[in-house]
Chains A and B, each alone.
Chain A
């Protein structure tokens, strides 16, 4: 059981929670994730990146978007309540060293897992260029924290409601075209964004790291549900990843695999909203 110490709503459906998890807080490194389960009997297991940790307090921070049944139910939980199971830290940590100039691209909620990597890269002495993108202003998260770490900060939205009206690939291409070109790119966000970031950097030959979030059950290499094709080889995101060379990842296959249970998820999601509606009706009925 992991107690919820803090809960903040960051945007329409994005939440930040601090959970009591002393062991995970002590061991975790940037790039790693947890698997969380709300109900040990019938709940599903979902992977979530660790956004931050406080080893002294013994807590980890997760940031998630309420998109499915489990994330909706998690969002409904209040401070003082508990999450039944949290397993981690899982996955290989990010390889952090002084590369020179590192461009960190975060799309939407991808900014959350990117944050500890930016922190680590900065501490290792890299010059940091941060590109943050979102569909619209209301969906931008952690802008201030990212701005504080960046040597150069670029923000863009699809609709132009904040910063440049552009997709992140546009400033990314510009930065890669500079002389000297950056030494590395880290791109985290929706799969389609990571795919196009990798395509954007490929002509420039800049090494591009992406962090994949696939369907998982155990998170320890046992089920293989998370497998992706990287450089023609099958890799397990949970034990070989979650970070891979973006130029080698077969994103189309990965996106198809992510949709495997779409029908079931949509149904559960709808049910979730119906239940919530019903609950709010019941609570106003005297």
Chain B
């Protein structure tokens, strides 16, 4: 795929929009479908491989309007059914098509608290855009209306032009709510509960708030300044933030209710326990969990070699095990840290890869090498205990498994050696055990996820939970949806 320059894309969009605006008759569905699907302007791959700035540059106003004009305004709005928080998608696209970007933002904000974040990191191709009639008509989900890109555009414009109108906060109720964690689920709860006039205190174990949005998702995909703005909006609403405070250790969860006077608690601590493959050699030097690698690079700013005190491995050949978004993030981070070769090793094929199409495409453009139907069997080290090679096995696809994906089956006797200098394990996360272990009576599944009822309430009175700690590793938008639900229950409980 050749790279189109942002300038060329902008000029084409100006011309096409101009022509459309000259018309006096309304556009027919057929004409809407014929409008050029707007490509996202991006940094040139050769240049962005060496920087951490955002890859996707965002639409121009003309591109946003053109893309919105592609929407057929379907009466049954199948896209809305695909959205976990049920944003009025045709509504906001109509406003955007008319050039009323502020109006579009207001419509989105009725349901979503983090449009600038979700516009960037939502897997739209399996949510709203999967159901889009335009995509169906053009027989490709890639050709669906780029709902997420328009969402991002209006959210960015709003932020850059003074920010969203601060929500009104009801008079103080005298009630107090503790929110544990500061990721997407917790941000949502804090905002929704604060609006009802309750006092809100957020607790964060790290020195900076934002959770996975700051330690996990890289700067080149989600600039940290955007996350900080969302946090600033919360503190602006009067939400109190305590960093370097880990509930379960610095203070027990029950003490918050029994001694500190909190009327309700929300647990949004995420899926923070990296999975390993349990194969030989996994504890060799040079083997990292994706969490560790990304935290060093993102939160601890190890990419800033001169200023950051946190070191990071910058070896020649890096292998990333896994095929999800985190694997793509780790691989693309390794590229930026100067690795000579970055290999993604995944035991199924590209079709089964859980990573977003866009992330996969970006990784390829940046020179990441994919090895499909292949998996590590063991890791081999030298006399100093440093990893030097992977012993890999080839796989083929067999019958579908419980997840509906064809099961990878190893090809007996296909072992071979792949020499590498570092390995990043990106095969997922389990739930962090810190709170369940230190809180009597908090029920969890056998995988360690906190069990909640349909209102988001846990087995302990006044204690609610949501996001990845309940769902297992999922998405930002689902975490936000869970947060919404728990916040509504908390607000109801405190009436």
Most buried by A among B283, B291, B307, B308: B283
Query: Do A87 and B283 have beta carbons less than 8 Å apart?
Result: no
A239 and B291 alpha carbons, distance in the complex (Å):
16
Cross-chain contact A45 with B300 (CB below 8 angstroms): yes
Could you tell me the distance between the alpha carbons of A156 and B437 in the complex, rounded to whole angstroms? Answer: 41
Q: How far is the CA of A40 from the CA of B274 in the complex (A)?
A: 24
B368 at the interface (CB under 8 A from A): no
**Could you mark each residue 247-272 of chain A with 1 if its beta carbon is under 8 Å from any beta carbon of chain B, else 0?**
00010110011011100110010000
Contact B243 A228 (CB under 8 A): no
Q: In the complex, are the beta carbons of A222 and B291 less than 8 A apart?
A: yes
Q: Point out the residues of chain B lying under 8 angstroms from A239, CB to CB.
A: 433-434, 437
| Chain B residues within 8 Å of A63, by CB | none
B283, A234: Cβ atoms under 8 Å?
yes
- Closest Cβ–Cβ distance, residue A269 to chain B (whole Å): 12
Report B-chain residues with C-beta under 8 Å of the C-beta of A257: 283, 285, 385
- Interface size of A by Cβ–Cβ distance < 8 Å? 44
The distance in angstroms between the C-alpha atoms of A104 and B248, with both chains bound, is: 29
Verify if A47 is at the interface (C-beta below 8 Å from B). no
Check A223/B274 contact, CB under 8 A, given A45-B300, A228-B283, A234-B283: yes
Question: Are B205 and A220 within 8 A (Cβ)?
Answer: yes
A164 nearest CB across to chain B (Å): 34
Separation in Å of the A76 CB from the closest CB of chain B?
A: 15
Q: B382 → chain A, closest Cβ, in Å?
A: 10
Find residues 95-121 in chain A having any chain B CB closer than 8 Å to their own CB: none
Chain A min CB distance to B393 (Å): 21
Q: Give the nearest-CB partner of A250 in chain B.
A: B283
Interface residues of B in 277-301 (CB under 8 A from A): 278, 282-286, 288-289, 291-292, 295-296, 300-301
Is the beta-carbon distance between B207 and A37 smaller than 8 angstroms? yes
Q: Which residues of B contact A224 (CB under 8 A)?
A: 274, 276, 288-289, 291-292
In the bound complex, what is the Cα–Cα distance between A259 and B384 (angstroms)?
A: 9
Docked pose: A225 CA to B272 CA in angstroms: 13
Q: Tell me the smallest distance from the CB of A243 to a CB of chain B, in Å.
A: 16
Q: Select one of A40, A86, A220, A264 contacting B208, CB under 8 A.
A: A40
Q: Which residues of A contact B311 (CB under 8 A)?
A: 44, 261, 264-265
Chain B residues with Cβ below 8 Å from A234 are 276, 278, 282-283
- CB contact between A23 and one of B207, B245, B437 (< 8 Å): that residue: B245
In the bound complex, do residue A256 and residue B385 qualify as a contact, i.e. CB atoms below 8 Å apart? Answer: yes
Tell me the complex Cα distance, A228–B434, Å: 19
* A65 proximity list for chain B (CB < 8 A): none
Residues of A within 8 A of B207 (CB): 37, 40, 45, 84-85, 87
Does B273 make an interface contact (CB < 8 A)?
yes
Query: In chain B, residues 384-414, which have Cβ atoms closer than 8 Å to a Cβ of chain A?
Result: 384-386
A70 touches B309 (CB 8 A): yes
Question: How would residues 235 to 250 of chain B score, 1 for a CB under 8 Å from any chain A CB and 0 otherwise?
Answer: 0000000011110011
Contacts of A39 in B (CB 8 A): 309
Given A23-B251, A239-B434, A264-B311, are A221 and B273 neighbors across the interface (CB < 8 Å)?
Answer: yes
On chain B, the number of residues with a Cβ less than 8 Å from chain A's Cβ atoms is 45
In the bound complex, residues from chain B placing their C-beta under 8 Å from that of A210 are none
Residue on B with the closest CB to A228?
B283
8 smallest A-B Cβ distances: which pairs? A256-B385, A223-B292, A222-B272, A264-B311, A44-B309, A224-B289, A85-B207, A261-B311
User: Are B250 and A23 in touch, CB under 8 angstroms?
Assistant: yes
CA distance A57 to B208 in the complex (A): 27
Using a CB–CB distance below 8 Å, which chain A residues touch chain B? 23-24, 27, 37, 39-45, 69-70, 84-90, 217-218, 220-225, 227-229, 234, 239, 250, 252-253, 256-257, 259-261, 264-265, 268
In the complex, what residue of chain B is closest to A235 when comparing beta carbons?
Answer: B283
Closest to A240 in B: B433
Are B289 and A90 closer than 8 Å at their CB atoms? no
Question: Mind listing 28 A-B residue pairs with CB under 8 Å?
Answer: A23-B250, A39-B309, A42-B307, A42-B309, A43-B309, A45-B207, A85-B207, A87-B207, A87-B246, A87-B250, A88-B249, A90-B249, A217-B300, A217-B310, A218-B206, A218-B272, A220-B205, A220-B434, A222-B272, A222-B432, A224-B288, A225-B289, A229-B283, A234-B276, A259-B285, A260-B285, A261-B311, A264-B311
Known: A218-B272, A223-B295. 12 other contacts (CB 8 A): A23-B250, A42-B307, A44-B311, A45-B300, A87-B205, A87-B250, A89-B250, A218-B206, A220-B432, A224-B291, A256-B285, A259-B285
CB distance from A152 to the nearest CB of B (A): 35
Q: Is B304 part of the contact surface with A, judged by Cβ < 8 Å?
A: yes
Contacts A86-B244, A217-B296, A218-B205; A27 near B249 (Cβ below 8 A): yes
Smallest Cβ distance from A266 to chain B, in angstroms? 11
Contact B289 A223 (CB under 8 A): yes
The reply to whether B251 and A27 contact each other, CB–CB distance below 8 Å, is yes
Q: Which residues from A are CB-within-8-Å of B437?
A: 239
**Chain B residues, CB < 8 A from A229:** 283
- Which residues of chain B are near A43, meaning CB under 8 Å? 309
Contacts of B386 in A (CB 8 A): 256
B residues within 8 A CB of A227? 276, 283
Complex alpha-carbon distance, A83 and B307, angstroms: 19
The residue in chain B whose Cβ has the minimal distance to the Cβ of A87 is B244
CB-defined contacts of B296 to chain A, threshold 8 Å: 217
B286-A260 in contact (CB<8A) = yes
A135 to chain B minimum Cβ distance, whole angstroms, is 25
Contact of A89 among B249, B292, B385, B433 (CB under 8 A): B249
Tell me the minimal C-beta distance from B444 to chain A in angstroms: 15
Residue of A nearest to B242 (CB): A23
Please name all residues of chain A whose beta carbon is closer than 8 Å to the beta carbon of B295 when the two chains form the complex: 217-218, 222-223
Is there an interface contact between A268 and B432, defined as CB atoms closer than 8 Å?
no
Tell me the bound Cα distance from A227 to B433 in angstroms. 16
Chain A residues with Cβ below 8 Å from B313 are 260
Establish whether residues A221 and B434, one from each chain, have CB atoms under 8 Å apart when the complex forms: yes
Which residues of A lie under 8 Å from residue B274 when comparing CB positions?
222-224
Per-residue interface assignment for chain B, residues 300 to 321, with 1 indicating a CB less than 8 Å from any chain A CB and 0 otherwise: 1100100111110100000000
Beyond A70-B309, A225-B292, is A27–B434 a contact (Cβ under 8 Å)? no
Contacts of A42 in B (CB 8 A): 301, 304, 307-310
Complex Cα gap A126–B67 (Å): 76
Q: Please, which residues of chain B bring their CB within 8 A of the CB of A88?
A: 246, 249-250
Report the minimal beta-carbon distance from B379 to chain A, rounded to whole angstroms.
Answer: 12
Residues of B within 8 A of A265 (CB): 311
Point out the residue from A23, A69, A218, A221 that lies within 8 Å of B309, measured CB to CB: A69
Residues in A neighbouring B285, C-beta threshold 8 A: 256-257, 259-260
Residues of A with C-beta under 8 A to B292? 217, 223-225
A37 to B64, CA, bound (A): 43
Residues of chain A lying within 8 A (CB to CB) of residue B246:
87-88, 90, 220
- Closest residue on chain B to residue A37 by CB atoms: B207
Task: Choose among A85, A250, A256 the residue that contacts B244 (Cβ–Cβ < 8 A).
Answer: A85
